[in-house]
Structure 1
Amino acid sequence: MSRFDVFREAGNPMFNDNQLKLGIFGPNVNNSCAMTLAETTFKPDFETNKNIAQMMENAGYECIVPVARWRGFGGPSNFNGQCMETFTWAASMAAVTKKIYLFTTSHMPTVHPIVASKMISTIDDISKGRIGLNTVVGWFPREMGMFGGKKLGHDQGYEFAAEWIEVVLKMWSEQFFDYKGEYFEIKDGWQEPKPSQSPRPVLINAGSSKAGMNFAAKYTDFHFSFLESMNQAREWTTNMKKLAWDSYHREINTFTTSFVVCRPTEKEAWDYYNYYVREKGDDEVTDIICELFNIDTASQSPEFNKKFRENFIAGWGGWAIVGTPEQVAEKLIAIAKSGVSGTLLSFVDYMNEMPYFNEHVMPLLEQAGVRHPVNHNSEKQVITFPKQQKEILVP
């Protein structure tokens, strides 16, 4: 029996029969994924996150992935500067949910693997086997500097990550062990309790370089990446599965991220997009992040720069899903048909936008057969969309 079969038999939501799995990304940080100064009721606090998570459970979503952040990026919004630490966030969400799969996100250089493995095992007990780990090497120099060190070189970072995850896996599966590597030396390693879920907590990673993709293929269950087109989505999924199987005799799935603006009419959807991205977008923090990623916008065409910057402002570079419920469902169905396992969604105003999405888009996905129907037990919520300051025409 393969590792994926064990996950499925154990009832892990990340391996259920839904062709398109859905989650959300970054509810623990201010602005979530939108680099905007638009007004919103969203706050990265416990009460808001609890309400979002319970609303997701009622609608049948599979997972939540938080963003690990130790300081903001600056700009007027100080994007992601206010945040809930991801291990304690996951423990708190575990205590107030019953079905949804939760991830913690760890910048591996900031947490010793023995500490991380023990915290995850503790959350595994609280959640009754619903915790996974998103592994991040750490790429923001100002964050790494806060911990008294400097950002590791790119390939060196993944060498460090490999040792880190190997220690965690041994802590979860072995009784007593010694480990000696370049970065870690463990004497008589031991941990109880071990995670209860079979075969272990789900591991995910979003490394996009050759070293990053090899790390994901060797150690993780899902590789996360951005979409450029449906053809690229198919090629990426095929190539990652081939890399994992040919190089490490392992299975791997793919997952992406998308930002959603869903309204009763196409005009209303684009009006709001234009408002929060083009009128209220935080251009200053976008410039900061472009510089961090070494993106030379001066060498690109104006059309490329506009699209690239807008996708970052709108949803951290995620796949754009803007339109009516039918148009939004069509774009999500296309992701499912590409072979990608699912997508994390982000909204500007979760509590005001997700209810409409859940009520009007989810049934269309069920009718299309990419998701199975769920029992909706809660009463319908009153839906009040966030408003733009003035009307803007559809482009």
Structure 2
Amino acid sequence: MPVERQREPIKFAYWVPNVSGGLVISSIEQRTSWEIDYNRKLAQIAERSGFDYALSQIRFTAGYGADNQHEPLTFSQALLASTERLKLIVALLPGPWHPAVAAKQIATINNIYGARVAVNIVSGWFRGEFTAIGEPWLDHDERYRRSEEFIRSLRGIWTEESFTFNGDFYRFRNYSLKPKPIDPQPEIFQGGSSRAARDMASRVSDWYFTNGNTPEEIKKQVDDIQAKARENGHSVKVGVNAFAIARDTEAEAKAVLDEIIAKAIPEAVHGFAHEVKNAGKASPEGEGNWAKSSFQDLVQYNDGFRSNLIGTPQQIAERILALKEAGADLILLGFLHFQEEVEFFGREVIPLVRKLEAAQPVAVAAE
């Protein structure tokens, strides 16, 4: 007989500014700091404001305004120590990290702080970064094959008493990790929009991050991933990137966007575009996350403007609901002035989202 089911409330995450330069490639003022004291306070504000997750970035070299970069795993521990409920998603890059080391680090953090640490497996898009640190640069789909083996290794190490794995990139023989993470097990996130990225998510990841886009385009990706996941007997959730500019009026919000674009740093934007579009062209289908991104889109690293969370709190709340209807389970947010804008978002936008969710009709499904 039919049963009523209500979808879970959409979750909110923010980009941890553990990298200098903010979240836009622009000379506009950004009252945001990459230093630890600022980030501790930001994490506490985010936790009070209704955010569920914070994502620490991984960068090894300077570029596009990111002159300084704190290592994400170490940095995340400091934020966990400063909060009580917020979950930290640590970006890890296969190659520089070995899954045995990562598994042990994450298990230890999990045992210290509880089930509040997750990982985001970044397959890599910046060839120059790999070259700078002496890491081999693999072909596009090879990077995703390595990432999939990395994820399978993490899961095996965390859950099996004696883990054996014979892959092309990683091999284990009767490896036993103790202590293992306490349940629930650390969630595994990944990003990408290529065929290889989506297929990997449909097999092994808990969460799939995609760049900002319209609800119509997000739905196409979600439908594709979910169909593949069902074929694989797997379940995956979807997070969407967005840059939020919430102001009292739509005109104020659009004026901020116009100023960000007007003060964009052309050489840095074009340099970033060159790297990411080359990475996408290397995929068999000749596309990637940024294949159709314009100059304006690329002023925000992950196409955050395309999600259009720019306007009044009511407009933004309604657009978040549209993204949820398209299949998004989480919104990953960037801001111009993180501390004050995260607080404003939590006070003015999230309650409206919850009100709109409560008013949604309950889905009816066969038992």
* Fold-level similarity (TM above 0.5): yes
1:168 positional shift: 1.6
Amino acid at match of 2:245: V
SS in 2 for 1:108: coil
Q: Structure 2 counterpart of 1:343, which letter?
A: I
Distance in 1 of aligned mates of 2:190 and 2:292: 28
Answering whether residue 82 of structure 2 is matched by residue 100 of structure 1, we say: no
Q: Could you tell me which amino acid in structure 1 is paired with residue 198 of structure 2? A: M
The equivalent position to 1:317 in structure 2, one of 297, 303, 315, is 303
**Quick check: 1:65–1:103 contact (8 Å CA) kept in 2?**
yes
* Distance in 2, Cα, partners of 1:115 & 1:307: 36
- The amino acid that maps onto 1:38 is I
Is 1:66 the equivalent of 2:49?
A: no
Aligned alpha-carbon RMSD (Å) = 2.3
**Which of 239, 252, 256 in structure 1 is aligned with 2:224?**
239
Paired position in structure 2 for 1:19 = 9
Identity, % of aligned positions: 24
2:165 is aligned with 1:179:
yes
Q: Give the whole-Å Cα distance in 1 for the aligned partners of 2:308 and 2:21.
A: 17
The one of 170, 195, 204 aligned to 2:189: 204
Question: Which residue is 1:169 aligned to?
Answer: 155
In the TM superposition, residue 315 of structure 1 has moved relative to its aligned partner by 5.1
Matched, 1:294 2:283: no
| One-letter identity of the residue aligned with 1:289 | F
Letter in 1 for 2:271: I
Equivalent residue number for residue 118 of structure 2: 132
Q: Which residue of 2 aligns with 1:117?
A: 103
Q: Find the partner of 1:188 among 154, 174, 187.
A: 174
Equivalent residue, structure 2, for 1:348: 336
The one-letter amino acid of 2:124's match is: G
Q: Using structure 2 for the length normalisation, give the TM-score.
A: 0.87
- Between the two proteins, the alignment pairs up a number of residues equal to 342
Indicate how the Cα distance of structure 1 residues 261 and 156 shifts in structure 2: closer, same or farther if over 3 A, else same: same
Quote how far apart the aligned CAs of 1:244 are: 0.9
1:232 Cα offset (Å): 1.9
In the alignment, is the contact (CA less than 8 A) between 2:130 and 2:137 conserved in 1? Answer: yes
Whole-angstrom distance in 2 between the partners of 1:218 and 1:345: 26
Deviations 1:188-222 (A, max 9, x none): 31211111022x21111113221111111111011
The answer for the alignment partner of 1:222 in structure 2 is 207
CA–CA separation in structure 2 for the residues paired with 1:206 and 1:121: 22
Once residues 146 and 195 of structure 1 are traced to their aligned partners in structure 2, the CA distance between those partners, rounded to angstroms, is 34
**CA contact under 8 A between 1:30 and 1:79: conserved in structure 2?**
yes
For 2:301 and 2:257, locate their aligned partners in 1 and report how far apart those are by CA, in whole Å. Answer: 11
- Partner Cα distance (1:154, 1:307) in 2: 19
Query: What's the secondary structure of 1:19's corresponding residue?
Result: coil
- For residues 236-287 of structure 1, give each alpha carbon's deviation from its aligned partner in whole angstroms, at most 9, with x where no partner exists: 21221111110x2111111101001111122221222111221x21211110
The answer to whether the aligner puts 1:277 opposite 2:267 as a matched pair is no
Deviation at 1:116, TM superposition (A): 0.3
* Aligned mates of 1:125, 1:339 — CA distance in 2: 33
Q: TM-score, normalised by structure 1?
A: 0.81
Q: Is the 8 A contact 2:226 2:236 kept in 1?
A: yes
SS at match of 1:193: coil
One-letter code of the match for 2:303? G
Does the aligned pair in 2 maintain the 1:336–1:370 contact within 8 Å?
no
Q: Which residue of 2 aligns with 1:153?
A: 139
CA shift for structure 1 position 354: 2.1
Cα distance, 1:70 vs. partner?
Answer: 0.5
